[in-house]
Every structure is written in structure tokens, then in C-alpha cells.
Amino acid sequence: MNMKVLAVGDVCGEPGLNYLEQRLKDIRKELGVHFVVVNGENANVVGITPRQADTIFRAGADVITLGNHTWTRTELRPYLDERRRILRPANFAPQCPGKGINTYHTDFGDVCVLNLMGRFTLDTNTDNPFVIADGYMEEIREKIILVDFHAEGTSEKLAMAYLLDGRASAVWGTHTHVQTSDACVLPGGTGYITDLGMTGAAQSVLGIDPEQSIGKFMGDPPQRYNSASGPAKLEGCLFEINPETGRCVHAEGVRLT
């Protein structure tokens, strides 16, 4: 039997959290999912709190990955050291709280999950994610390796995927909140999608109230982002992985309302 991994796109605010609470366990059953990785770095719209991370775990996530808003909520820092199932990007400085890579036991064997962050336009003080990823691939011994690459540039994400093709089981992009239509299996057997999309209010601008987003582009003074209201959606990608070889045999974008 192949292992089915569901990667869930950036959870944005209460609409996204509520959707996961109400639907994720049923989705796991309906799709026959064995392992779920959720990008949760926007659960608080900007950042994530320990309470919100606990909500995502209770909803049915096995691992939470983060990104450029990792340090927005200072109360998360001790939580990152206390919980092994939440990851921050591995290319943050080593003195930062938490870990960017970990191994998890499943019925299909050990699964390694790696969280990385891109540098193009994100203006962050991080190590080179390509060098970090390349180094980890020399050390990882697990057959099933999953990589969340939180990055802005599509070229950066594609380049990472080709660097890891045949070495990782699946590589997916997060951060832009817009699902791409390129879910595929690369020539070396790595499942890939440029961006998972977003889990949050369906009628929104990347999860944010449209009027507020319009105001920002019109020149309104800066203010805290507010989640849009209304029905929510889940976007992500389903990867089917052969546990004997660690190769992906099928990748398919998922969009559920």
C-alpha cells in the first residue's frame, strides 16, 4: 500500500482554523490520508499562537510548518522548543528556538519533514536554503522525505524542486496563498506543486477582508489585517508515495469547500 500525504496550504485566521476543526478529520477519512502537514504561520492572520497550534493538532494535523511570520508572536518561542511536531524554517540561525527538521514514526516507516524558507523578496536574515537543503539530503536516512519550501518566487521554488528531485519524496511551496495548477511528479520521482494555496475565507484577498486590502492599495494608513468572513475553503496537494522506494507515484492538487 502506498502512503497518502496531504499538504495543506497556509491557514489564514479564524475561518481557516474553524474549517480545519470542522472538516479535516472527515477529509482524512474521505481521501484515505495517512499523514497531514499543515502550514500554520498565518493562523493568527499574521503569525500563530500556541493555542492556535494546539487547535490545528486537535483538528487532525500531524505536523505544522511555519515561515516568514514565525517570530511575530513572541509567546510561540518556548512552544517551539517544547513541541517536536511544529517546525520553523531550518535556515533560521541555529540559536533560534525550535527545529526546522524532524522525523516522525508512522505505519509506513519513519517520515522526515523539512521546513525551509526562501530569500527572494522576503528580506529575511536566513542561511541559503539551497545549501542547507543540499546538506541535509546528504545526512537524511529516511526514505520518505517531505519538504515545505516557504518562498515568494516561483523560480526559487522550482529550482529547489529540481535540486531535490529524486532525493525528496515531495516538495511543495507555500506563502503566496494562491494555488498553482502544476501538481506533478518530476522525472526523478519527487512530487511537486509550486504553491499549495490557502485555507481560509473563500471570498477574500489571500484570506484578508477585500475592502481592507483595496484600502491598502489605495493608500490607506497601515493597520492590522482582518480575516475576511464567510464560507471557507481548503487548498493543498495530495501526494501518493511508495514507502519502499520513497518515490512519489501521483500528485494532485486539492481544493475543497
How many Å apart are CA 191 and CA 169, to the nearest integer? 6
DSSP state of 96: S
15: left (phi over 0), alpha (psi -120 to 50) or beta: alpha
Q: Residues 212, 218, 221, CA angle at the centre, nearest 5°?
A: 65
42: closest CA among 4, 19, 9?
Answer: 9
Spot the catalytic one: 69, 150, 175, 177: 69
First-to-last alpha carbon distance for the chain, in angstroms, is: 28
Euclidean distance between CA atoms 140 and 18, whole angstroms: 35
| In 33-143, beta strands by DSSP E | 35-39, 63-65, 86-87, 101-106, 109-117
Q: What is the largest CA-CA distance in the chain?
A: 55
Neighbouring C-alpha atoms within 13 Å toward the C-beta of 65: 31
Task: Determine whether 69 is an active site residue.
Answer: yes
* CA distances to 57, 211, 214, 216 from 221, in Å: 36, 13, 12, 7
Residues acting as catalytic residues: 69
